[in-house]
C-alpha cells in the first residue's frame, strides 16, 4: 500500500513526508483493518511532523481523522466487514487507572494516540482497536466526516470546558478546522459567537456560518465575552483573551501545543473570578456526543481536498492559513 511516512521531524517546507510502498498493516485480535477513504489534516499532524511534539517512534505515518471501510474484523464484535468507521486521535487507554475508571480516560498516563504512537491515516490502510472506532452518521460523506474525528471532537470538548451560559457570548481566537465546527454547534445552542482571526478568508467563512462579529486577533469585540476558546497555538493570546472576558468568564485553551504564555497580571487578567481551563485530548464519550449532535444540526464542513501524495503540500497550506475550513486527504 501507499503511505506518507515520516522518518525524521523537520519543517514542512522541506517535504519530510515520503510516499512509500509499505506492507498493509496486520490487525491484532482486538483491532479492525480499515481501508482509508479520507483523512483530515490537523495542526497536530503539523506538530508531529515539525517536532513541536517530541518523537515517539523513529518512523511514523501521521493522520488521525480517518474515515474508511472495515476490511477485516473479529467475528461478533462491534463492527463487521463493510461497515464505515472513523478513527480518531485517542487510540488506546489502559482502562484500569483512576482516570479511566472515572470517565476521564483522556487523562490516562498510558494513553496512545493515532499518528503519534501508532501509524495513522496518511495511508491506504490503517488499523484501530475496535473499542476506539466510531460509527459514522449517514448524513456525512467521507470527506465531510473526516474533520469531525479530531477538529470536531476537540472543539466539542473545548466548548464544554468553556462553560458558555445559555444565550451567552463566546469568543473564538483562531478560525481553522476546529473552530468552524465549534461555531456551528455554538450557534445551534443559542450562543452569540465572535471570531478573531488573521485571515480575511477565515473571517468571511465565520460570518457566513453565523458569527455576529469578526475581527483580527488583537481587536476588541463590541461587548465583553462570557466565554472564550483559543484555538491558535499562540501563548501570547492567553492574556488577550482573558482581558476580553466579562467577570466570571471562562477561557478554554484547545491546542495540544502552544508557544510560551507570557506572565499574567492577577488584577488585570484573572481577578473577578475569570478562569483558564486547558483541553487534553478527548474521551470516547466526547466523540460519540459530538457525532450525534453534529448529525442533528447538521453541521456542514467547508473542505479542501488534496491527494494522499500531496500531504506535504496540504500541511504547508495549513501552516500558511491558505484555505478556510478543513483540509482532507483522499486516496
The string of pLDDT tens digits covering residues 222-278 is 999 999 999 999 999 999 999 999 999 999 999 999 999 999 999 999 999 999 999
Q: What are phi and psi of 285, to 5 degrees?
A: -60, -40
pLDDT reported for residue 77: 87
pLDDT reported for residue 270: 97
Determine the Cα–Cα distance for residues 67 and 142; give it in Å rounded to an integer. 6
Residue 195's CB is within 10 A of a number of other CB atoms, namely 26
Query: Which cell goes with 213?
Result: 462579529
Mean local confidence (pLDDT), 8-34 = 97
pLDDT reported for residue 182: 98
* Residue 212 clears pLDDT 80, i.e. is over it: yes
75: pLDDT confidence band, cut at 50, 70 and 90? confident
Structural domains in the chain? 2-152+281-330 (3.90.180.10), 153-278 (3.40.50.720)
Q: For all residues of the chain together, what is the average pLDDT?
A: 97
pLDDT reported for residue 331: 84
Residue 327 CB partners (closer than 8 Å, separation 6+): 40, 41, 177, 303, 304, 305, 306, 314, 317, 318
pLDDT reported for residue 138: 97
Amino acid at each position: 500500500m501507499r503511505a506518507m511516512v515520516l522518518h525524521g521531524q523537520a519543517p514542512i517546507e522541506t517535504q519530510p513526508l515520503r510516499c512509500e510502498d509499505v506492507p498493509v498493516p496486520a490487525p491484532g485480535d482486538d483491532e479492525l483493518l480499515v481501508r482509508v477513504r479520507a483523512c483530515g489534516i490537523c495542526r497536530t499532524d503539523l506538530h508531529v511532523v515539525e517536532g513541536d511534539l517530541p518523537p515517539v517512534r523513529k518512523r511514523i505515518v501521521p493522520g488521525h481523522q480517518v474515515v474508511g471501510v472495515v476490511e477485516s474484523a473479529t467475528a461478533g464484535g462491534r463492527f463487521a466487514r463493510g461497515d464505515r468507521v472513523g478513527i480518531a486521535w485517542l487510540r488506546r487507554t489502559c482502562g484500569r487507572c483512576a482516570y479511566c475508571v472515572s470517565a476521564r480516560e483522556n487523562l490516562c498516563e498510558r494513553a496512545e494516540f493515532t499518528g503519534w504512537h501508532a501509524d495513522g491515516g496518511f495511508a491506504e490502510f490503517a488499523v484501530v482497536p475496535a473499542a476506539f472506532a466510531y460509527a459514522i452518521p449517514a448524513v456525512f460523506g467521507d470527506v465531510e466526516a473526516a474533520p469531525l474525528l479530531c477538529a470536531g471532537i476537540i472543539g466539542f470538548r473545548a466548548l464544554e470546558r468553556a462553560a458558555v451560559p445559555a444565550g451567552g457570548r463566546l469568543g473564538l481566537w483562531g478560525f481553522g478546522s476546529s473552530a468552524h465546527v465549534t461555531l456551528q454547534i455554538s450557534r445551534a445552542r443559542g450562543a452569540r459567537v465572535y471570531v478573531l482571526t488573521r485571515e480575511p478568508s477565515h473571517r468571511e467563512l465565520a460570518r457566513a456560518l453565523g458569527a455576529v462579529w469578526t475581527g483580527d486577533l488583537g481587536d476588541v469585540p463590541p461587548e465583553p465575552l462570557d466565554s472564550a476558546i483559543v484555538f491558535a497555538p499562540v501563548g501570547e493570546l492567553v492574556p488577550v483573551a482573558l482581558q476580553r472576558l466579562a467577570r466570571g468568564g471562562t477561557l478554554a485553551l484547545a491546542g495540544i501545543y502552544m508557544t510560551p504564555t507570557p506572565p499574567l497580571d492577577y488584577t488585570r487578567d484573572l481577578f473577578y473570578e475569570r478562569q483558564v481551563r486547558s483541553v487534553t485530548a478527548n474521551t470516547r464519550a466526547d466523540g460519540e456526543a459530538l457525532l450525534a449532535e453534529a448529525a442533528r444540526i447538521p453541521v456542514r464542513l467547508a473542505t479542501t481536498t488534496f491527494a494522499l501524495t500531496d500531504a506535504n503540500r496540504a500541511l504547508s497550506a495549513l501552516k500558511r492559513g491558505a484555505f478556510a475550513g478543513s483540509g482532507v486527504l483522499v486516496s
